[in-house]
Structure 1
Amino acid sequence: MSDAALAAHLAAEAGRLLLTVRDSDMLEGKPLGEAGDAIANRFLVAALRAQRPEDGLLSEEEKDCPIRLDRRRVWIVDPVDGTREYAERREDWAVHVGLAIDGVPTIGAVALPAAGLVLRSDRTMPVPPAPPRLRLVVSRSRPAREAMAVAEALDAELVPMGSAGAKAMSVILGQSDIYLHSGGQYEWDSCAPAAVALAHGLHVSQLDGSPLVYNRHDTYMPDLMICRHAHVAPVLEALARAQGR
């Protein structure tokens, strides 16, 4: 099985497990989120260690092993991206299975189980054209200051949404046009979405336009921008004005 097929298969299967746990109605709220994280993590970690034993592995829900830093190929997974949304039985949560090679987000699959979708880096679709008024997807609970400034500068409509994976995939699906995030994310939040977005021809970078680099000792990933290439310059200009540059 190819790396891309494996990523998609594991993301889909983890999503099915999570739906089964959620739909059993045995747990609610925080205990449901914790159970989902644990079950999906056990499945993904066991499967990757069995299928790709020579590769490194980084998971949000697994104790970090520094051996990964010596590997060129590192699987980076988020068993439940948007645990709160999952626990609240919303649709805007995801499963991330990504593969970084030499620090580059190369292979990825993002499952949106509640929507019955798996977006993957090896099976792309045309990204719908942007509407006359751009849409900027933001956190439904804590929109980033930079995102709000860009939305104001571009007169963009705000689209509140839950998990990072759901936000990133919303650009591919034509539900939004720009995804900006600053602060509070880690490598597992964006590796798989970045790989899928890049494969779909989108621009993916830090807020200063520099590329995202994965499998670092410090897994904190401070900021992220995903959009069509035509929107990169206006977004960077709006960010520069907001930051007084």
Structure 2
Amino acid sequence: MATEDGRLAAELATDAGRLLLTLRAARGAGRALGAEGDRSANELLIRGLRDHRPADAVLSEESADTAQRLSADRVWIIDPLDGTREYGEPPRRDWAVHVALWERGQLTAGAVALPAMNVVHGTDDPAPLVPRDGGRLRIAVSRSRPPALVEKLAVDLDAELVAMGSAGVKATAVLRGEVDAYVHAGGQYEWDSAAPVAVARAAGLFCSRIDGSPLRYNQPDPKLPDLVVCRPEVADELLAAIAPHLGPDPEPGR
């Protein structure tokens, strides 16, 4: 069902994506481009939220965190440029903009823009799941730092690992039928997964921590190191395969 917050999330993510594409076309490539993209997209999103939702709190990867959000009923959780490395390597397309709304304990709206693919996934208009072809399980994994856990799962499940960049791209790849699951262990924060999880849930995907426990947002410490996003019919098999590999410390990775 369409909501004002869902529409705003999609509009802001789209606008930030357009800015990033324009900046990339003008500046070329490299780390400096990524840093400028992070800063410019964050400024656009913060300005848009102040204009349209001035009473709401914001948690952003690119802004200083404050304790004020912990007592707020509504908190926007944003990643202005997810996949900064990929963004700085034209013509790579696997980077994203994340905009999500947390409201009294739940993610209630969100959007993931994939500007270089001309795609926006939003909670207002979730895409229908593409039917699974029944072949080998396909798991999205970081192209540069694949977690050891996922490499073990590939052996245990005879799964195919599909390398791609941004967390938002990997999570929404399940929606697009490019993979069946995205499994991550270690090294993420709430802004990495809030919008992808909001969008995935709206489309009927299964989302949890790697031990099957709920994903919780707007916590005092925004670190949220692991998650599973997958087609609902493979969730039990995937969690059962993960369980023997769980230990006290998450595997490092993206």
Same fold (TM over 0.5): yes
Q: Equivalences for 1:57-136 in 2 at 5 Å?
A: 57-89=58-90, 90-131=92-133, 132-136=135-139
Deviation at 1:70, TM superposition (A): 0.7
Deviation at 1:242, TM superposition (A): 2.9
Q: Deviations over 1:123-153 (max 9, x none)?
A: 0121112232111000001111221122221
How many residues are aligned here?
A: 243
Q: Deviations over 1:219-238 (max 9, x none)?
A: 00010100011111111111
Deviation at 1:241, TM superposition (A): 2.7
| 1:184/1:222 contact within 8 Å kept | yes
Q: Equivalences for 1:227-242 in 2 at 5 Å?
A: 227-242=230-245
Aligned position for 2:51 = 50
Question: Are 1:218 and 2:221 matched, yes or no?
Answer: yes
| 2:121/2:127 contact within 8 Å kept | no
Q: Equivalences for 1:142-181 in 2 at 5 Å?
A: 142-181=145-184
Aligned position for 1:198 = 201
Aligned position for 2:39 = 38
| 1:81/1:163 contact within 8 Å kept | yes
Aligned position for 2:250 = none
Deviation at 1:172, TM superposition (A): 0.2
Q: Which amino acid aligns with 2:59?
A: L
Q: Distance in 2 between matches of 1:163 and 1:82?
A: 4
Q: Distance in 2 between matches of 1:125 and 1:63?
A: 34
62-71 or 145-154: bigger deviation: 145-154
Of residues 5, 8, 15, the one that matches 2:7 is 5
TM-score w.r.t. structure 2 length? 0.93
TM-score w.r.t. structure 1 length? 0.96
Q: Which amino acid aligns with 1:197?
A: A
Q: Distance in 1 between matches of 2:216 and 2:246?
A: 23
Q: Distance in 1 between matches of 2:48 and 2:12?
A: 8
Deviation at 1:53, TM superposition (A): 1.0
Q: Distance in 2 between matches of 1:2 and 1:10?
A: 12
| 1:104/1:212 contact within 8 Å kept | no
Q: Deviations over 1:160-180 (max 9, x none)?
A: 000000000100001100100
Q: Distance in 2 between matches of 1:107 and 1:36?
A: 24
Q: Which amino acid aligns with 2:17?
A: G
Q: Which runs of 5+ in 2 are unaligned?
A: 248-254
